[in-house]
A and B are shown apart, each in its own frame.
Chain A
Amino acid sequence: MPYSIQINGKRHTVDVDGDMPLLWVLRDALNLKGTKFGCGAGLCGACTVHVDGKPVRSCQMPVSRVANASVTTIEGIGNTSIGKRLQTAWLDIDVPQCGYCQGGQIMSAAALLTKTPHPTDRDIDTAMTGNICRCNTYLRIRAAIKKAASASSVDVGSL
């Protein structure tokens, strides 16, 4: 059946099964490929998006449950000051190796900084524990989050 979802500030209508996870709606129905499939079981965090500002694993979220919600993905997070600061810090510190998990990492980090603007190492480890980086770039992920936290607010625009 048709579902109307707000994604990155724009309304989309998709005609899919209600139990289809948001991950696959984003990737296959809406061609937003930044949200990644890693485990299909909510164990790795590669598919992290924000639903009404809260980080969720989109592989575990049926589309029917986000019909009236506002969804932000890695493609849209740069439109927020926190998202932009994180992306900039990620580039400055040269965090990624393969890069596959990094969209999900940034989405979890954005949720963390929204709630805790100046996180400690422990805050970071707790908030980011659900996001696996198989290349083990964790040291730089930690450093980039701190750098983004200490950066002053930035204008949002295209990177």
Chain B
Amino acid sequence: MAAYFTSDSVRRSVDSFVVSRRTFLKASVATGGGLLLQFALPALARAAAAATEQSGATLNAFVRIAPDGVVTILAKNPEIGQGVKTMLPMLIAEELDVDWEQVRIEQAGLDTDKFGQQFAGGSRATPINWEPLRRVGAAGRQMLATAAAQTWGIPPAECVTGSGKVFHKASGRSASYGELASKAAGLPVPDLKSVKLKDPKDFKIIGHSKRSVDNPLIVTGRPLFGIDITHPGMLYAVFQKCSVFGGKLVNANTDEIKKLPNVRDAFVVKGGDDPQGLVDGVAIVADNWWAANKARESLQITWDEGATAAQSSAGYAEGAVQHAKSEPAVSLRKDGDAKSALANAARIVEAGYAYPFLPHLSMEPQNCTAEVRDGKVELWAPTQNPGPGRKIVAATLGVPESDVVVHMTRCGGGFGRRLRNDFMAESAWIAKVIGAPVKLVWNRTDDIQHDFYRPGGFHYLKAGLDSSGEISAFTDHFVTFGNNGRVADSATMSDAEFPAGHVEHLDYGMSLLPLGVPTGPLRAPRSNALAFVFQSFIDELAHAADKDPVEFRLALLAKSRPGASTAVDEGSLDSGRMSAVLKLVAEKSSWGKQKLPKGTGMGVAFYFSHLGYFAEVVQATVAPSGDVKVDKVWVAADVGSQIINPVNAENQVQGAVLDGLGSALHQEITIEHGRVVQANFDTVRPLRIGEAAPVEVHFLMTDHPPTGLGEPALPPAIPALCNAIYAATGKRIRKLPINTDDLKSA
């Protein structure tokens, strides 16, 4: 049995979601009996609007209750391994007041009229849905209780619920939701804003570990992912694009390719200039994928490689050095008078930092199955962002969006790559030409060489310390990428980047290098690079000031200058919350209390991203050969008042930390002659099991609305490792990936 009330914190949270008076809920009797609840809410978090093209959309969730009491809950967002297919239905089930064992979960298709925003990105699923989806469940509970009250001729207030049943204590009567569902469906729908939510202390599902609902299918090898889709009469396709970004096809030997065994067709595709859509290439369609892919060995294509062929990683680095000699082209932020403050500093610390382009490397290569029939398009797509996918397919094929149906499959990893839907446009086009269902599958080289990369970047930092060792001035000249004055996707830096607001005299400026390589968000975009730069340089300053790196950071956080800060909103760093996790991680790691062996060191870093506060300590050992071994990682996190699904929360944090360490140790995408050098997992290495150090995770519960966990644990792991290497060796890592040759002590 649960008691219900609306606490102040919940009310605040409701307000922040701007639930309007137009909020409504529709109920109807589902086919075959039972209650179908269709809930609608207006556009929710402002933050989410930036992550998708949807704004002002409505959110609907479906709850279906069968006469036998089985509750079917639709999972509205794409599942890419972040656990939302389990977590979002938990929110509904909790307030509906059913047992988790009664619940069946179905993946929803793309229907933004019914479900509102449907995307996997920005760690937004939790902040966007925490409140509204619980209200969806609570409204259903209220309708079922009312149905029982009417049946029994008692006031609804006398009814209580629990485990999918309504009870009337005074008379000892009870009825199951299955029995009540049809009646409930005919009742007026409560205002979602007014429905009562549980006191969190009564949660039976939220805060209790629920294992990922697809796991029984995963461990037995059942079809589940986009690449597993199969249809009668389906053909298999590959698509060969120009290895130089933006290259145009001149001619290709498609007539010869068509004659190869099991090949059904081969044809030239002339596309546009936008890498997010269809570009030039050759499609090969065969009876099986292996035959289609093998036929590429005989493919001869003449390309006009275009202007990007002149670009290279070495060229970018040279360009950055040139920019560093002059003032930044654009000022991002100017507080006080950094120049004078530097001139008066007791000590100046100066350093250049650089990080490379990075791939996403989702384990399931990009793929999509499409069928075009009578002008209507149907797609089965492992996408993080189905709405824009539908749009680009409609534009590519010249059909209205209403004629494009998108089924979301489970994704074998996303990491931001599947926010772009180029593979959907390709498969739709090939299916249209071939007139049969087609499954397009990229090979690993396609996947690595036609990505939307985490952009590389260069930072030229200078800071002044006063005689007491405090930072008196701080400047950064950020050399990043962009064309015609427009910064490339995910290559920006916020003017609020820490320590902005904590140093009196501060300049951030930016210059742009032209870029022909497509870029895009990679797990914790921007933060995954900026954390390395700023938290490493702050570490340099701590050592230059001869201060303990934790104490130095705590003092810097405490020096908040509200007048100099940008507008206070949900995106601004709360120094108190960060200080608390920093203190916690120091305590849990026994920071400064251990005598470590020679070659072993501890490093600390913190970072605020995706509304999450993370402080991390890495202990690492550097061998005389320069090889780096991470011994252990401690994480302290504040993501608000509630960890919704603890078993998955820990998994996400551990995975994100190891992901960051793997990229810092091993990963780089190199551009030569306008194309990517790396081609498979031997040249761009994900972390392997022997390198996976224990990651101890601590959550600090605070009185703030819960926020997401897909990303924010990643950024601080990288500088914490680099700072540990400094502590172990005295050598500062200013360029990623870490070059172990530079760390040799022999």
A residues near B, CB below 8 A?
A: 16-17, 20-21, 24, 27-29, 31-41, 43-44, 46, 73-75, 78, 86-87, 90-91, 94-103, 106, 124-126, 128-129, 131-142, 159
Complex contacts, B493 vs chain A, CB 8 Å: none
B689 touching A99, Cβ below 8 Å: no
Shortest beta-carbon distance from A47 to chain B in Å: 11
Chain A residues, Cβ within 8 Å of B415: 134
Is B212 touching A74 in the complex (CB atoms < 8 A)? no
CA distance A24 to B209 in the complex (A): 37
Contact A39 B410 (CB under 8 A): no
- A39–chain B nearest beta-carbon distance, Å: 4
Instruction: Determine whether B322 belongs to the interface, using a CB cutoff of 8 Å to chain A.
Output: no
Contacts of B227 in A (CB 8 A): 33, 36-37
A-facing residues in B317-368 (Cβ within 8 Å): 361-365
Contact status B220-A28, CB under 8 Å: no
B680→A159 contact, CB < 8 A: no
CA A93 to CA B657, docked complex, whole Å: 19
How many B residues face the partner with a CB closer than 8 A? 65
Q: List 29 A-B contacts (CB under 8 A).
A: A20-B291, A32-B221, A33-B221, A35-B221, A38-B365, A39-B680, A90-B215, A91-B216, A94-B209, A95-B215, A96-B212, A96-B218, A97-B82, A100-B362, A100-B364, A129-B688, A132-B686, A134-B362, A134-B363, A136-B655, A136-B659, A136-B686, A136-B692, A138-B687, A139-B695, A140-B654, A142-B692, A159-B216, A159-B220
Q: With contacts A20-B291, A90-B215, A90-B219 known, what are 8 further pairs, Cβ within 8 A?
A: A31-B230, A33-B228, A34-B220, A36-B227, A96-B212, A100-B362, A134-B361, A139-B654
Could you say which residues of chain A place their CB within 8 Å of the CB of B290? 20-21, 24, 28
Given contacts A39-B680, A78-B220, A136-B659, contact A100 B688 (CB under 8 A): no
Cα A91 to Cα B361 with chains together (Å): 25
Counted as pairs of residues, one from A and one from B, with CB atoms less than 8 Å apart, the total is 186
Considering only CB atoms, which chain B residue lies closest to A75 in the complex? B221
Residues on the A chain within 8 Å of B220, using CB:
34, 74-75, 78, 87, 159
**A100: chain B residues within 8 A (beta carbon):** 225, 362-364, 412-413
Contact of B219 among A38, A43, A87, A98 (CB under 8 A): A87
Residue of B nearest to A128 (CB): B689
Q: Which listed residue (A34, A75, A136, A142) contacts B687, Cβ 8 A? A: A136
- Minimum CB distance partner of B236 in chain A: A28
| Chain B: minimal CB distance from A52 (Å) | 20
Given contacts A33-B221, A73-B221, A97-B651, contact A38 B363 (CB under 8 A): yes
B444 within 8 A of A: yes
What mask results when residues 30 to 63 of chain B are scored 1 for a CB within 8 Å of chain A, else 0?
Answer: 0000000000000000000000000000000000
Q: What is the bound-complex CA distance between A141 and B692, given in angstroms?
A: 11
B682 touches A41 (CB 8 A): yes
B363 touches A94 (CB 8 A): no
B648 touches A94 (CB 8 A): yes
Question: Which of B198-230 touch A at CB < 8 Å?
Answer: 209, 211-212, 214-216, 218-225, 227-228, 230
The list of the 10 closest CB pairs from A to B, nearest first, reads A34-B221, A98-B81, A100-B412, A74-B221, A138-B692, A136-B658, A97-B81, A99-B218, A125-B690, A24-B290
- Which of B236, B412, B655, B680 touches A43 (beta carbons < 8 Å)? B680
Cβ–Cβ contact A139 & B694, under 8 A: yes
The CA of A49 and the CA of B694, in the complex, are separated in Å by 29
Residues of chain A contacted by B228 (CB below 8 angstroms): 33
Contact A135–B81 (Cβ < 8 Å) = yes
CB contacts (< 8 Å) of B159 on chain A: these are none
CB neighbours (8 Å) of B690 from chain A are: 125-126, 129
Closest chain A CB from B445 CB (angstroms): 8
Q: Looking at chain A's contact residues, is the secondary structure mostly helix, strand, loop, or mixed?
A: loop
B360 nearest in chain A by CB position: A134
Contact of B565 with A by CB under 8 A: no
B490 at the interface (CB under 8 A from A): no
Contact residues in B for A159 (Cβ distance below 8 Å): 216, 219-220
Nearest-Cβ distance from residue B423 to partner chain A, whole angstroms: 15
Which of chain B's residues have a CB closer than 8 A to the CB of A34? 220-223
A138 to B689, CA, bound (A): 5
Q: Which residue of B lies closest to A122 (CB)?
A: B690
* Chain B residues positioned under 8 Å from A38 (CB to CB): 363-365, 444
Question: Which residues of chain A come closer than 8 Å to B647, judged between CB atoms?
Answer: 94
Evaluate contact between B682 and A91: CB separation under 8 angstroms: no
A37 to B690, CA, bound (A): 23
Which residues of chain A are near B410, meaning CB under 8 Å? Answer: 98-99
Which residues of chain A come closer than 8 Å to B82, judged between CB atoms? Answer: 97
User: Is B612's CB within 8 Å of the partner chain A?
Assistant: no
Q: Is A140's CB under 8 angstroms from B363's CB?
A: no
A78 to B218 Cα, complex, angstroms: 12
Contacts of A141 in B (CB 8 A): 689
Contact with B689, one of A46, A74, A124 (Cβ below 8 angstroms): A124
Complexed CA–CA distance, A102 and B219 (Å): 7
Contact call B688/A102, Cβ cutoff below 8 A: no
**Which A residues lie within 8 Å of B107 (CB)?**
none
Bound-state CA distance A16–B291 (Å) is: 10
In the complex, chain B residues whose CB is within 8 Å of the CB of A20: 288, 290-291
Closest to B209 in A: A94
Q: Is residue B441 contacting chain A, with contact meaning CB distance below 8 A?
A: yes
Task: List chain A residues, Cβ under 8 A from B680.
Answer: 39-41, 43
Q: Does B652 contact A (CB under 8 A)?
A: yes
The CA-CA distance from A103 to B223 in the complex, in Å, is 11
Contacts of A136 in B (CB 8 A): 654-659, 662, 686-687, 692
Contact of B413 among A98, A129, A139 (CB under 8 A): A98
- With A and B bound together, what is the CA distance between A159 and B222 in angstroms? 12
Partner of B221, one of A44, A103, A135: A103
- In Å, the complex CA distance between A86 and B413 comes to 23
CB distance from A5 to the nearest CB of B (A): 16
Q: Mark B282-310, 1 if CB is under 8 A from A, else 0.
A: 00000011110100000000000000000
Q: Which of B214, B289, B363 contacts A132 (CB 8 A)?
A: B363
Chain A residue numbers with a CB within 8 Å of B681 are: 39, 41, 43-44, 132
Closest-by-CB residue of A relative to B414 is A98
- Tell me whether A91 and B363 are in contact (CB under 8 A): no
A86: chain B residues at CB < 8 Å are 219
A134 and B686 in contact (CB under 8 A), knowing A41-B444, A75-B220, A94-B212?
yes
Is B289 a contact of A139 with CB atoms below 8 Å?
no
Q: In the bound complex, how far is the Cα of B671 from the Cα of A25, in angstroms?
A: 36
> Which residues of the other chain, A, contact B365 by a CB distance below 8 angstroms?
37-38
**Do residues A135 and B413 form an inter-chain contact, with CB atoms below 8 A?**
yes
**Which of B686-715 touch A at CB < 8 Å?**
686-690, 692, 694-695
Which residues of chain B have C-beta atoms less than 8 A from A126's C-beta?
690
Identify the closest chain B residue to A31 (Cβ). Answer: B230
